[in-house]
Structure 1
Amino acid sequence: MTRKQLLILLLLLASQFMLAVDFSILNVALPTVGAGLGFAEADLQWIATSFALCAAGFTLLLGRVGDYVGRRRIFLIGMASLGIASLVGGLATNPAMLLTARVAQGLATAAVTPAGLSLLTTSFPEGPLRARALGLNSVMMSTGFTAGAILGGVLTDLLSWRWAFLVNVPVAAVVVLLAPLLLTDSADRERSPLDVPGAVLVTTGLLALVFGVTRAGEEGFTDPWAVAAMLASVVLLVAFWRAESHHPHPLVPTAILRRRTIGWGNAAGFVTFSMESSLVFLLTLYLQHVLDLTPLQTGLTLGGLGLGAILGGVTGPRVIATFGVRGALVGGLSVQAVFTALLLLVGPAVGWIWLVLGATFLGAIGHVCVIVGFMVAATSGLPDHEQGLATGLATMTQQVGVAMGVPVMSAVATTVGSLESLGALRVAIGVDAAVVAAAALLVATQLRGEPAPVAGAGEGVRADGEVPASA
């Protein structure tokens, strides 16, 4: 990398890490926040849900808007908005003020994440250099979620829950000051009219989907609101697909979604994000309710996951160079499934903490290998003016996966017992491992026609796994 590329990478990684942290930093502090601001216990979940709804629901739309108005512009507006929203949240004096800040944080995240990712892909040429940059970005996304839980516990215990918001403000300010000096935007922008009907359909469909699944995680899959929202999401997303097939300038060209690497790459990404985030949730319950650890001890125990993510981000590009994208996806999912299944052995004694440390460390290596492969597949082989679309799809996959994984596994556990019961948690962990294993099998069979050549670590590898002639 050139010096400028390295500075760009550091700037974008810092922003992506902060965005990932925001998904989980308040989870540990929710009871403290509720007591401090007078939230009713039933309304506490909206502190997390309001953020997740906006972050997942508007990602694809705002990622595509970046193709029209400029990704750097969207990135700067989003980061400034995130800093302001975080300041409002940190100074909140009532529930309405806090929830408004969380909605604004979610919208800012939906703008910044795809814009930052597309700025990353257009700053590095397709090939090993981009794969390494995406590998480090994957580390930030994965470790940020875990670091958020640790940081939330530390800040709440030592200072105040308000610092879970305020910690964003100086980071956002530094990024906004440096970004205009380092980031350049491609002159190759989308010139066709924005597909407004498609934007409305996909945004409302995603909002209904995330709301329905979140509601089901809290009230059960028989809850009428959950059922109605999920049915509405199916109708809206099917209508979106049909509308895009006939629109002269679709928000998402269906031909892109039919590409095997993009379709199955995003499927693998969805599974790895949703199941790993839900595994962190289940293990948090196990460590706190079964082993009686404090929030800070729980966060430190899950630190092994972060170390594994770093190793996975470093090795992921090399795995792709050697075995191709399909090999990275299948191998990473298999590793994640095996070490998730190993956690079925955990018992009620504190000594089982060593199994948690080892299994989460090794499973995270496979998890981040999948993320690297998914990101390479989802962003390769496309012109610059479609990078916002590609990164918007990839980010949507990430956000929806993270938003849906926890409530789904929560609902699985509560169908057989309490979330504080070891037996119920084991059932949910077993389902988690089975879903990941099924995804590995599907990707292996459905991408069987994709070549998976052997290439040196310094050679370029296309998204389909082929080595270009120039390599």
Structure 2
Amino acid sequence: MSQSKSAPSAVESPEVQTPDPRRWGTLAVVVSAQLLIVLDSSVVTIALPSAQAELGMSDSAKQWVVAAYTLTFGGFLLVGGRLADVHGRKKIFLLGLLGFAVTSALGGLAVGPVMLPLARAAQGVFAALLAPAGLALLTTAFSDARERARAFGIFGAAVGSGMAVGMVLGGVLTEVGSWRWCLLVNVPLVLVILVPAVRFLAESQREAVIKYDLPGAITGTLGVGTLIYGLSEAETVGWSHPSTVAFGLAGLALLVAFVVIERRSERPMMPLRIVVDRVRGAGYAIVFLAGAALLAFYLFLTYYLQLVREYSPLLTGLAFLPSAVGVFLGSLGAGRILGRTGPRAVLTTGLLLGAAGIAYLGVLDRASGFWSVVFPALMVSGLGIGAALTTVTKITLDGVPSGDAGVASALTNAMRQIGGAVGVSALNVVALSVTAAKGDSGDDALTEGYVATFVVGAGLLALASVIAVVMTGSRRVRG
């Protein structure tokens, strides 16, 4: 394939670029905003039982508090990334930040069982603007290879540990105050981020001719959203249920149509050149598998701690602190090493460590000690997960033309969302099947179901490590 002779972008040719003097301020702003998005998912999960009781929500309505956010966030990511590339990343980032604060306030002030899921759906839309715009701003702010590796290490450390930190924060806010503060706390946090965002973020160059790929936007958004909804249906009614099959097939058909449209479009929403690169394509596959393994891992370990061990929400959140520490250290370590070497060794080692840590939970029973089993599993898996996610995020964005950085960032987030939805739905079936095979629903049977999900999740990370070995070592890393 011939290469374009146009002027190289900041991402493609860092050696000719002058370092952005505001790059470290940009990193602080982007990390803070992304951490806000990650915190929000786990904070709300901890608060759900209290919200359900106060608002009189049914179980199905409670499910939609999480599902509505997931659907709109995953569905609108590609649109958000493309809007950032077309209209300017700083503008879309600020819009997403302000919208996230307003919708968080609406959710925290909800007065009925319908208002909260609607507010969460709106939150997801603004998060889909915020996340890809922020990651694209970070990618283009750092032109030096070693500095960018360090920046991704810091980004991975903060964001990767955010879920565990969010669980602690959610437990504290729910027990000390009210579930409402798990959403209302976003408002002052956004205000703290907003001032440095206006100061440090540099506006990206916008396209001279603004032309939207409307068919691609519609099919891509509906395809991702429909597929995620079908997967969420599988979790509640089963994989063979007509609604699961119908929505799953409809989502896949829409995504096939999306690819066909993008191949023919003059100005595609997602240029296919982004995904045809072998290393980057492998990176997206690894993000998918890691998302499937990790979201299910955190969810089912939470179930084990609360339902079998009867931990309180606060104690459950505190139990995940070893994972947060491990992710933090693993991400920072990967950021330093990546500045001196290629990604394959770091990525493979991280994935295998993550698999080993999760697989160790295969020895769990209903009386297992926290310090002897759960603590080392969380610490080791956290180290590996931090190193792996930092590295895979970097390889999915290395070499992307500057004008496509927003949509490439969106695709990374979308693969993580879809992978998480697949993992939770599929491994829930595994847990239920193993528990049902025991003929009872006691603690022993529940634990065996959860253990089965940990073993399968470890297998997914091991599969991802094979992809890393085979597919990520041939392309020379370009800053």
User: How much has 1:178 moved relative to structure 2?
Assistant: 2.8
Map residues 27-176 of structure 1 onto 2, 5 A cutoff: 27-176=45-194
- Contact between 1:117 and 1:391, CA under 8 Å: does it hold in 2? yes
User: 1:202 corresponds to which letter in structure 2?
Assistant: G
Measured after TM superposition, the shift of residue 300 of structure 1 is 0.8
Could you give the per-residue CA deviations for residues 449-469 of structure 1, whole angstroms, max 9, x where no partner exists?
Answer: 446xxxxxxxxx527xxxxxx
Within a 5 Å distance, the mapping from 1:298-309 to structure 2 comes to 298-309=316-327
For the residues of structure 2 that align with 1:62 and 1:329, how far apart are their CA atoms? 28
Q: Which amino acid aligns with 2:478?
A: R
* Alignment pair present for 1:251 and 2:269: yes
1:216 equivalent in alignment to 2:241 = no
Residue correspondence of structure 1 range 423-434 to structure 2 within 5 A: 423-434=448-459
Q: CA deviation at 1:7?
A: 2.5
| Letter paired with 2:161 | T
* Alignment correspondent of 2:461: 436
Alignment of 1:288-327 (within 5 A): 288-327=306-345
- State the secondary structure of the residue aligned to 1:381: coil
**Greater shift in the superposed pair: 400-409 or 343-352:** 400-409
Question: CA offset at residue 353 of structure 1?
Answer: 4.3
SS at match of 2:284: helix
Structure 2, unaligned stretches of length 5 or more? 1-18
What CA distance in whole angstroms lies between the structure 2 residues aligned with 1:412 and 1:220?
A: 11
Matched with 2:349 is: 331
Shift of 1:17: 0.7
Decide whether aligned partners of structure 1 residues 34 and 62 sit closer, same or farther in structure 2, where only a CA change above 3 A counts.
Answer: same
**C-alpha separation between the residues in 1 aligned to 2:158 and 2:297?**
18
For 1:348, give the aligned amino acid: R
What corresponds to 1:462 in structure 2? 478
- Code of the residue aligned with 2:178 in structure 1: it is S
Residues 303/107 of structure 1: CA separation in 2 closer, same or farther (3 Å cut): same
TM, length-normalised to structure 2: 0.90
What is the CA distance between 1:201 and its match in structure 2? 0.9
Query: Larger deviation: 348-357 or 388-397?
Result: 348-357
CA RMSD of aligned residues (A): 1.9
Alignment match, 2:435: 417
Specify the SS of the correspondent of 1:29. Answer: helix
**Shift of the alpha carbon at 1:292?**
1.9
Task: Report which stretch shifted further, 278-287 or 160-169.
Answer: 278-287
Distance across 2 between alignment mates of 1:403 and 1:197: 25
Cα deviation code 1:80-132 (max 9, x no counterpart):
11111111111110122212210111011100000111111121114111111
1:14 to 7, 32, 37: 32
8 Å contact kept, 1:23–1:52? no
Deviations 1:198-237 (A, max 9, x none): 1111111100111111111122112211111111111111
2:386 equivalent in structure 1: 368
Contact 2:100 2:123 in 1 (8 A): yes
Rounded to whole Å, the distance in 1 between the matches of 2:370 and 2:282 is 36
Aligned to 1:92, the other structure's residue is in SS state coil
Q: 2-side partners of 1:185 and 1:9: how far apart?
A: 14
Residue 159 of structure 2 aligns to which amino acid in structure 1? M
Q: CA deviation at 1:191?
A: 3.5
Q: Return the alpha-carbon distance in structure 1 between the equivalents of residues 66 and 166 of structure 2.
A: 13
Structure 2 SS opposite 1:371:
helix
Contact 1:138 1:371 survives alignment (8 Å): yes
Separation in structure 2 between the aligned mates of residue 2 and residue 198 of structure 1, nearest angstrom? 34
Q: Which residue of 1 aligns with 2:7?
A: none
* C-alpha separation in 1, matches of 2:413 and 2:452: 29
Give percent identity, aligned residues only.
33
1:204 alignment partner in structure 2 = 222
Aligned partner of 1:273 in structure 2 is 291
Distance 2:138 2:426 in 1: 32
Between the aligned partners of 2:159 and 2:427, the Cα distance in structure 1 is 21
Moved more, 203-212 or 188-197: 188-197
Query: Offset of 1:143 from its aligned partner?
Result: 1.3
SS of alignment partner, residue 111 of structure 2: coil
Distance, in Å, in 2 between the alignment partners of 1:137 and 1:407 is 28
Matched, 1:399 2:417: yes
Name structure 1 gaps, 5 residues minimum: 452-460, 464-471
**Pair 1:239-2:257 in alignment:** yes
Q: 1:41-100 CA distances to partner (integer Å, 9 max, x unpaired)?
A: 232100000001111111111111111111111011111111111111111101222122
Divergent runs of 4+, >6 A? none
Deviation at 1:269, TM superposition (A): 1.6
Q: 1:362 to 1:437 in 2, by over 3 A?
A: same
SS in 2 for 1:305: helix
Cα distance in 1 for partners of 2:310, 2:118 equals 34
Figure out how many residues of one structure are paired with residues of the other and give that number. Answer: 454
- TM-score normalized by structure 1? 0.92
Query: What letter corresponds to residue 438 of structure 1 in structure 2?
Result: L
SS at match of 1:58: helix
